[in-house]
Amino acid sequence: MATGIGEQDVWAAADALLMEGARPTIERVRQKIGRGSPNTVSPHLESWFRALGARIKDPGAFAAAPAAPDPVRQA
């Protein structure tokens, strides 16, 4: 059974797009994740944008969690 996407999925995809130099949009986030409806992605992407300013001020905001496996941290 397929599971829905959550805020963490959208935030990770939006972060990845931003780091690639692309503007995170609903469609780009959906393509990055590989699934999800615009109605599901939209509110999570809005919360990502609202939090972005505060995250930019924090130099470790885009760092992977220490418990993340090496391939994830390198990505």
Instruction: Please compute the mean of the pLDDT values over residues 10-22 and round it to a whole number.
Output: 94
Instruction: Please compute the mean of the pLDDT values over residues 29-54 and round it to a whole number.
Output: 94
Check: pTM over 0.85? Answer yes or no: no
Torsion 47-52-58-60 (CA) sign: positive
Q: Where is pLDDT greater, at 41 or 2?
A: 41
Instruction: Please compute the mean of the pLDDT values over residues 1-25 and round it to a whole number.
Output: 89
Residue 61's φ and ψ, nearest 5 degrees, are -60, -35
Is the pLDDT at 17 greater than 80? The verdict is yes
Q: Where is pLDDT greater, at 73 or 12?
A: 12
Query: Are 15 and 21 contacting, i.e. CB atoms less than 8 angstroms apart?
Result: no
pLDDT at 74: 67
* Torsion angle (degrees, nearest 10) of CA 55, 48, 8, 56: -10
